Amino acid sequence: MADPVRAGLPFLPYGRQSVEEDDIAAVAAVLRGDWLTQGPAVAAFERALAKWVGAGRVGAVEAVACANGTAALRLAYAALGIGPGDAVVVPSNTFLATASAARHAGAEVAFADVDPDSGLMGVAEAEAAIARAAKAGWRVRALAPVHYAGQTAPMAGLVALAQAEGLALVEDACHAIGTVDLSGGDRADGQEAPVGAGHAEVEAGSLTVFSFHPVKTIAAGEGGAVTGTDPALMARVRRLCNHGMMRDPGEGEAFADPDAALDAGGKPNPWYYEMAEPGFNHRLSDIHAALVLSQLGRLDRFIGRRAALMALYAERLAPLAPLVRPPALVPWCRPAWHLCAARIDFEAAGRTRSAVMTALRALGVGTQVHYIPVHRQPYWRRRYGDLALPGAMSHYAHTLSLPLFPAMADGDVDRVAAALERVLS
Ligand SMILES: Cc1ncc(COP(=O)(O)O)c(C=O)c1O
């Protein structure tokens, strides 16, 4: 008899992109056109993303598209002038890149603890990290809250902390495209706003970074973006993304040879460019931009389907409590869910996580762990020793990301819940 859990059904990965025919047509159109990189698709995607995170207010937010989320982090830290002698506060419950990009800038990383249930860095955890950094003699320059799984860190408090301490803000929103921050009371305009609209009131600078990796809510293949509202800061992000090059003599500093910059009519010479600081090539290609622009058109639909699946999970997992609990909800945002990071009491179930993952896999259910706390990585342990971050360790011990992607059917959630019940009982 067919297994009622598996029943010949396809394997369910923990995340998967949703590519449709219009995505394929959009990419094919670029391949048939004149531009493979930095053409009209990149510009159109930047405009559309800026409009989306600016809640439709054209011109309120600027977006710079780039190669991936890691590149976006590097650009953000570099544009804020973070470098050797500085430190960035990074929650330990994140992907490697939030910390590595700070280190690439030459900065130290002041790892912060997280709430063991939500996996998010709060104000108290950020303050403790700042205090530890001060003891180490580091100059803390920025907070880098991570909007884990699609829920925002408590931004009202973190914005206030950044202002009080004169820190910049780099929001790692790689999980949170489409999430709405409801803590509008602290925003200059008092509005709730999609993540990425920025916090203009943060004097030391505020930037948000996104990833469009295929497991994220919208996919570019590889892709990322930086958004912000400060024109000078965003101009620096844009320059750094493309070798630090400037083509407009008005934008440049004193060019070594002004004759080379301008023609007889006072217009820039066609070959002219200048460089005020070394940048990167972190550009997005038009091929990737066409895909992610097409996907952006379906972001609302993706968010809606993910929300519906999460509501179903809450229902179907309820009978498995207290062994299994759905992700802990925070009140200050309307999440665009990226991960269904369930919390499982493996000890009480008498099964190791490894055994549970293997057994689920045998039943056709893929899972993943987000994340091994970054401060436990050998590189960081060699650098800083063994930090005590109990919230991050507790979150790590209990977390298991269950399948969540828009093409899942309602029945797939039943299947995951039934598989979990079987494996844990
Ligand atoms: C929280 C977080 N930050 C940064 C990144 C880096 O993004 P990318 O993989 O696009 O470089 C990721 C993606 O895995 C992420 O999940």
Which ligand 1 atom is at minimum distance from the Cα of 215? Answer: 14
Can you give the pLDDT at residue 4?
54
Exposed e or buried b for every residue in 310-333, given b needs 16+ CB within 10 A? bebbeebbeebeebbbbbbebebb
Which ligand 1 atom is at minimum distance from the Cα of 70? Answer: 11
| Whether the predicted pLDDT of 1 surpasses 50 | no
SS3 of residue 268 by DSSP: strand
Can you give the pLDDT at residue 183?
81
CA of 225 to the centre of ligand 1 (A): 11
Best residue for ligand 1 mutational test, from 66, 74, 93, 95 (most atoms within 8 Å of Cβ)? 95
Average confidence (pLDDT) over 75-87: 97
- CA-wise closest residue to 171 among 149, 189, 187, 195: 195
Which ligand 1 atom is at minimum distance from the Cα of 211? Answer: 10
| Whether the predicted pLDDT of 58 surpasses 70 | no
CA-angle at 371, arms to 205 and 283, nearest 5°: 45
pLDDT per position as a tens digit, 224-262: 999 999 999 999 999 999 999 988 777 766 566 667 778
Which protein residues are within 6 Å of ligand 1, measured from CB?
68-70, 94-95, 97-98, 146, 172, 174-175, 211, 213, 224
CA of 70 to the centre of ligand 1 (A): 6
Which ligand 1 atom is at minimum distance from the Cα of 223? Answer: 10
Residue 383 corresponds to which tokens in the numbers above?
């650098």
Average confidence (pLDDT) over 312-327: 96
Average confidence (pLDDT) over 275-284: 94
pLDDT per position as a tens digit, 5-43: 666 789 999 999 999 999 999 999 999 999 998 889 999
Which ligand 1 atom is at minimum distance from the Cα of 370? Answer: 16
| Whether the predicted pLDDT of 44 surpasses 70 | yes
Write down all domains in the chain, each with its CATH number in brackets.
Answer: 21-244+278-296 (3.40.640.10), 299-424 (3.90.1150.10)
**Percent of the residues in the chain that have a pLDDT greater than 70, as a whole number:** 94
CA of 308 to the centre of ligand 1 (A): 25
| Whether the predicted pLDDT of 267 surpasses 50 | yes
Average confidence (pLDDT) over 345-352: 96
Can you give the pLDDT at residue 260?
74
CA of 347 to the centre of ligand 1 (A): 30
Average pLDDT, the chain: 93
| Whether the predicted pLDDT of 347 surpasses 90 | yes
Look at ligand 1, atom 8, and give the residue with the nearest C-alpha: 69
- CA-wise closest residue to 225 among 203, 196, 254, 205: 196
CA of 96 to the centre of ligand 1 (A): 8
Which ligand 1 atom is at minimum distance from the Cα of 212? Answer: 10
Can you give the pLDDT at residue 15?
95
| Whether the predicted pLDDT of 371 surpasses 50 | yes
Best residue for ligand 1 mutational test, from 109, 148, 174 (most atoms within 8 Å of Cβ)? 174
SS3 of residue 362 by DSSP: helix
Best residue for ligand 1 mutational test, from 17, 66, 70, 337 (most atoms within 8 Å of Cβ)? 70
Which ligand 1 atom is at minimum distance from the Cα of 146? Answer: 1
| Whether the predicted pLDDT of 110 surpasses 70 | yes
Residues 155 and 145: beta-carbon distance below 8 Å: yes
Can you give the pLDDT at residue 186?
45
- How far is it, in rounded angstroms, from Cα 201 to Cα 404? 35
Average confidence (pLDDT) over 103-129: 98
